[in-house]
Chain A
Amino acid sequence: MTTDNSGDVRLAGISKTYGSFSAVHPLDLTVPQGSFFALLGASGCGKTTTLRMIAGLEEPSTGTVHLGEQDVTHLPPYKRPVNTVFQSYALFPHLDIFENVAFGLRRRGIKSVKKQVEEMLDLVQLGEQARKKPHQLSGGQQQRVAVARALINHPKVLLLDEPLGALDLKLRRQMQLELKRIQTEVGITFVHVTHDQEEAMTMADTVAVMNGGRVEQLGAPTDLYENPQTTFVANFLGTSNLIKAEVDSGSGDEIVLKAGDGKLTLPKARCSAPTTAGGTVLVGIRPEKISLTHADDAGEIPAGRNRVSGTIAEASFIGVSTQYVVDSAVCPALAVYVQNVDRDPRLVPGADVVLHWSPAHTFGLDAAQDIDAGIETVEEEAA
């Protein structure tokens, strides 16, 4: 299976424009055979349009779509070896579950479908429901029928368009694991479109973060999280603290920056911005990487760590951790998540504290970008 690349999806210079509006800017993307690939972004970022171009439901304005060696750019959907799990499932209401699942097989002229359909229904644990109509099933069951209906055709690529969007949170988590299990079991390439960053990170091997019709960054979930290249990715995936700092000197593998009165160091490899002396860089740090020490104990902080001093503005206890908002001279409202291992009773709103973290966890971004990119969109989706 590893040498077979018939399940590769290759998009070359693919774009889609509606009148003067560019839904997808020219885009190159390769999804290797057998991988679980997620297109992540807020609504209107072009992720669904990209998926629909792979499915053949949307004709690209420019560029080509290859599946393995085959150019499918101009093939109608019914001739493409791909299947789609639609948002809100699009199950045929007049057919029962069995016939819904058998639909693709029957269209390809396969007469004896019974065994295959029953096996597939067992895979998604719906063997008992075969003779029910879609509207008699719950949302989660309908979702599984939609997956079964697509998978039974053994497509080269399975496309999933926000398949879990209509489910409640608990069922969603359960279905994420279920889909991941099925993908591992059948070994088909999955391309999954979602706006839920947690969903993308739990399920996918590779995530492409899309924004405004472009891919902002592509990589493994840990890569994207630990080393974001743009402010959008830094803010859209989890939370980031971004501090405006001035480049002081760059020596060897490290860059030294000036933020307020203090100095911050940043590994050169983790900085995606140009670093000429005197230029501005956004220094990023994830809230959970920061340690919080009361100002009285500042002397105990090991040397070589980045430090920022400030005052606790808010503290909220969440059980496993406590989330602090710290106001400092270099950046208002820094977020800090502290594991509740040994709670320091002095860390209450109003207390003076020193934030410190390892330079290795710091990342640098181009300051020419919008520092708040990706923040609003997350809130919109949540609302």
Chain B
Amino acid sequence: MAVVTEAPPPLTSTSPDKPPRRRGRWTPYWLLLPGILWLVVFFALPMIYQASTSVQTGSLEEGYKVTWHFATYWDALSEYWPQFLRSVLYAAAATVLCLLLGYPLAYLIAFRAGRWRNLIMILVIAPFFTSFLIRTLAWKTILADGGPVVATLNALHVLDVTSWLGWTSGDRVLATPLAVVCGLTYNFLPFMILPLYTSLERIDGRLHEAAGDLYARPFTTFRKVTFPLSTPGVVSGTLLTFIPAAGDYVNADLLGSTDTRMVGNVIQTQFLRVLDYPTAAALSFILMAAILFMVTFYIRRSGTEDLV
């Protein structure tokens, strides 16, 4: 383009040149338009609508009006803070478990699996072929009272310990915090494994050899080279696990009890059963703000932007 304009054509230099260039300048925006429309209609507008709902007062019979009643936020928070706290704790526990389970598996797939790599990858992704609900229901059967899992845990006196810690109650696992955390861990494990695998797989194998050559034992090599280089995967994996787990209500609903209700369950109940739309909307905004705050803090702390 630049070359063409530098050598000015003698006659009709201005008129035939300009229209295509003007059209070209707008092309990116035309291409962006569907995406922008989608976001406006299905994200921005509902957000604004929800924001306005959260500051309305009224009742179903008389209708709701925007009264800038910010006290709803305070009320929601003071009434439902245990559920908020529980959401964060369960999601954090599930994220830690996912990391502990997922890292070795991702490491295995990336470095040791050889020709089994694709098969293991398929096994990791396979659960996605069934619905989230069915998978969670399956855990109801796995953890059923008197079932083989619970019986084994009971026989090994594991349940005595977890019961003492308050994670289970008596000889039941179902309807306890442990069951909910198990369900969350299982459902979000692939979201941890995939980013971990991607970042581990990108590490040049020669770096391991170089570390060994420079007197690092295998574990030191892991601590000083492999793990630091996989932190982008750890960060995105924990975010992809923690964020949806904190807002989840299906696991707590199916595997938990009234004592394990998470903020997602409260929002669902407020919207669909109590029909208290302002409280539900306020709770949603509080959850969103809390997650945004935690994620920002986490990314700042882990310093991922500094990594290659």
Contacts and interface: CB of A to CB of B under 8 A. Distances in A.
B213 A78 contact: yes
A55 B211 CA distance: 12
B204 interface: yes
Nearest to A93: B308
Contact of B215 (A57, A86, A153): A153
A150 B225 CA distance: 17
Nearest to B216: A107
B204 A94 contact: no
Nearest to A161: B206
B220 A107 contact: yes
Contacts of B69: none
Contacts of B211: 92, 103
Given A107-B220, A135-B308, A90 B215 contact: no
Q: Size band of the B side of the interface?
A: 10 to 19
A143 interface: no
A78 B307 contact: no
B213 to A, nearest CB: 5
B229 interface: yes
Contacts of A76: 212
B228 A149 contact: no
Nearest to A134: B308
A91 B212 CA distance: 13
Nearest to B221: A78
B204 A90 contact: yes
A57 B211 CA distance: 11
A78 B217 contact: yes
Contact of B212 (A78, A88, A150): A78
Interface string B21-47: 000000000000000000000000000
Interface string B206-241: 110111111111001000110011000000000000
B216 A86 contact: no
A83 interface: yes
A84 interface: yes
Interface in A71-104: 76-79, 82-84, 86, 88, 90-94, 103-104
A107 B307 CA distance: 23
Interface in B273-308: 307-308
Contacts of A77: 209, 212-213
A88 B214 CA distance: 16
A241 B308 CA distance: 53
B207 A90 contact: yes
B282 to A, nearest CB: 43
B52 to A, nearest CB: 47
Contacts of A55: 213
Contacts of B307: 94
B92 to A, nearest CB: 26
B210 A84 contact: yes
Given A94-B307, A107-B220, A133-B308, A57 B213 contact: yes
Contacts of B214: 78, 83, 103-104, 107, 149-150, 153
A108 interface: yes
Interface string B103-131: 00000000000000000000000000000
Nearest to A83: B213
Contact of A88 (B206, B220, B224): B206
The winner among A82, A84, A90 for most chain B CB atoms within 10 A is A90
A310 to B, nearest CB: 51
A78 B209 contact: no
Contacts of A56: 212-213
B210 A94 contact: no
Interface in A299-358: none
Contacts of A88: 206
Contact of B308 (A83, A94, A108): A94
Contacts of B228: 94
Contacts of A107: 214-216, 220
B229 A94 contact: yes
B134 to A, nearest CB: 42
Contacts of A103: 211, 214, 216, 224
Contact of B206 (A79, A90, A94, A153): A90
Nearest to B208: A90
Contacts of B217: 78
A86 B308 contact: no
Interface in A130-152: 133, 135, 149-150
Given A84-B210, A93-B308, A78 B204 contact: no
B215 A108 contact: yes
A57 B220 CA distance: 17
Contacts of A133: 308
Contacts of B207: 90, 92-93
Nearest to B220: A107
Interface in A162-204: none
Contacts of A57: 209, 212-213
B209 A90 contact: yes
Interface string B134-161: 0000000000000000000000000000
Contact of A86 (B209, B224, B225, B229): B209
Nearest to A155: B213
B207 to A, nearest CB: 5
Contact of A93 (B212, B220, B229): B229
Given A90-B209, A92-B207, 5 more contacts: A55-B213, A84-B210, A94-B225, A104-B214, A135-B308
12 contacts: A57-B213, A76-B212, A77-B209, A77-B212, A86-B213, A91-B210, A92-B211, A94-B225, A94-B229, A103-B214, A149-B214, A153-B215
Interface of A: 55-57, 76-79, 82-84, 86, 88, 90-94, 103-104, 107-108, 133, 135, 149-150, 153
Top 9 A-B residue pairs of the complex, sorted by shortest distance between their CB atoms: A104-B214, A90-B206, A107-B215, A90-B210, A77-B212, A84-B213, A93-B308, A94-B228, A78-B215
